[in-house]
Amino acid sequence: MTIVVPVPISPLPVAPYIGDKDFDAHADAHVAALTPHRDQVNALSEATYQNALDAHGSATSANEAANAAAAIEAQTAILASTAAQAVGAQMWQPHPMVYGSGAVVWSPSNGQVYRARNVSSGVDPADDLAQDFWWLIGAALSPPIVFVTADTVARPGMHYVFLAPATLTLPFPGGLRDTVLITDLSMSSEAIVDPGEGKIRGQSGPMRLNVPRLKFQLVNSGNSGNGKGWI
């Protein structure tokens, strides 16, 4: 950024006043200095304007760099999740396939990796919200990414990235300790996270994301007893 250094404005000559013995001379000098004074004020205004344009350009470049960094982070998360799936895990298959305790699979519903805690044959790990049969394993902060450009219903264990103003509706009631990761790159202040019939941090109703490039994770604490919904 090039900073334009403004030229200091020269002081005006003494203004004439009633009773001034040199009234005419002072008046002539004061009037003659008004045009150069105007030019200096205009030059100062121009320098201020150019500095503001440069500052705006720098802010825009910084914002573009931040968005590019967020995109790289998202791509890195995808690669991490893919790598986790590749380590000995096979795609889950429905009945008649039977998985013994300790078997590792990845779900075709969300791409996440799971380990069987009990013998299971017919439950997709992504649908086992209570984790009666499957434990979620692998990179907890590298879930599959879904880019949100229109109203979307969320699934547990996913990373939703807003690219446009839209509404993301959270699962209800969902499973205890379910997680949803959210990033807002819409730059709109109009992205909405809606708990539906549930709550977000103890409050009913939608939550508007009004902080640029906001990233956070919600965990389901339950909706009964001391549960505060998604926290």
DSSP letter at 128 equals -
Exposure string for 135-159, b = 16+ CB within 10 A, e = fewer: ebebeeebbbbeebeeebebbbbbb
DSSP letter at 178 equals -
> Token pair of 167, please?
């509404």
Taking CB atoms within 8 Å and a gap of at least 24, the contacts of 94-102 are 94/121, 94/122, 94/124, 95/121, 95/122, 96/121, 97/121
Answer yes or no: pTM beyond 0.85.
no
Would you write out the chain's pLDDT as a tens digit for each of its 231 residues?
567 777 788 888 888 888 889 888 988 898 998 898 888 888 888 888 888 888 877 777 776 777 667 666 666 665 565 555 556 688 898 878 888 888 888 888 877 788 888 787 688 888 887 777 887 775 444 677 899 999 999 998 889 999 999 999 999 888 888 899 999 999 999 999 999 999 999 999 999 999 989 999 999 998 887 889 999
Q: Are strands 207-209 and 145-148 parallel, antiparallel or unpaired?
A: unpaired
Contact between residue 123 and residue 105 where contact means Cβ atoms under 8 Å apart? no
